[in-house]
Amino acid sequence: MRTGLYFEFLKKAFQQKATYKVNTYLNMFGTLIQLLIQLSLWYALIGSNSDYGVSFRDMINFVIINTIVSTIIYCNIGRVLLGKISDGSIANDFIKPMNLKYYLIFDNLGENLYDVIFGCLPVIIFSLFILDFKPPVNFTGFILFLISITNGIILINMINYILGLLGFWLHATWYLYWYLSALSRLFGGTVVPIWFYPKILADITKFLPFRFISFEPIQIYLGKLSISSSLKVIIMQLLWILILKVLENFVWNRAERKVIVFGG
């Protein structure tokens, strides 16, 4: 992989998003309002009650770090890929001296990085002084968090890319992204932490990749997992990455044949 080339795509996407100043301010304000609304709801639901072994202080930290993580893992490469398939422009991408998948990923990351710095960073600063946001428990935990969130980004991009490739066979895949969003919210613990799930639902999440995208990395950050448990999470992430890679290669090989057949 030509790393320098793809980092240029990341840089270009970052700079391009920086041109929309008004959107930046609105995004920053929206992030702060959303954060305060979530905290108000959790305070009303939990208050000083810790029957689940989770305090309101825990929820403050969860909501804040989840806001940041949700921004950095946001992925729309499947929709972009579907658009290229629908309008036929993907044929031009095949002859360009680059890997389409990595181009889409780094372009998306450039936009996400901008949103984190200029949308979430002010919220972090606010949280440090007003909401008593807890920093990482220790350096080792923070390193494990960075590794796990990197794996989470890889997972969500692979899932989106595979769904995008299905556009070679399906006339519309918008409903697939609706299902993906619903499954991610339900089994990923992004809206309601899995701490509050009934046992049967929590057990189901262990057999799906969604909880390993952001919920488990957040648990590592908050110190909810020991080092050994954190390493098990990373191993599970790597296992899912391997499974999705095999599936991706399977779908891509058939998609490539389809392009060759219709393109002559």
Tens-digit pLDDT profile for residues 229-250: 999 999 999 999 999 999 999 9
Tokens of 198: 């009934």
User: Dihedrals φ, ψ of 35, to 5°?
Assistant: -60, -45
Does residue 150 have a pLDDT over 90? yes
Average pLDDT of the residues in 36-49: 80
Does residue 159 have a pLDDT over 90? yes
Predicted confidence band of residue 261 (pLDDT cuts 50, 70, 90):
very low
Selected residue with higher pLDDT from 220 and 179: 220
Report CA Rg, the chain: 20
Does residue 264 have a pLDDT over 60? no
Residue-level pLDDT at 262: 46
Tens-digit pLDDT profile for residues 103-142: 889 999 998 998 888 888 887 787 777 877 777 778 898 9
Does residue 40 have a pLDDT over 70? yes
Average pLDDT of the residues in 142-154: 95
- Burial tier of 124 (Cβ tally within 10 Å: 0-12, 13-18, 19+): middle
C-beta separation of 151 from 234 below 8 A: yes
Does residue 174 have a pLDDT over 80? no
Which range, 52-56, 127-131, 165-169, has the best average confidence (pLDDT)?
165-169
The Cα 57–Cα 39 span in angstroms is 10
Residue-level pLDDT at 239: 97
State the DSSP string of 191-218. Answer: SS-GGGS-HHHHHHHTTSSGGGTTHHHH
Q: How far is CA 212 from CA 123, 128, 239, in A?
A: 25, 27, 11
Mean of the per-residue pLDDT values of the chain: 84
The Cα 135–Cα 129 span in angstroms is 12
C-beta separation of 55 from 145 below 8 A: no
C-beta separation of 114 from 21 below 8 A: no
Selected residue with higher pLDDT from 93 and 213: 213
State the DSSP string of 63-132. Answer: HHHHHHHHHHT---HHHHHHHHHHHSTHHHHHTSSS-HHHHHHHHHHHHHHHHIIIIIHHHHHHIIIII-
**Percentage of the chain modeled with pLDDT above 70:** 90
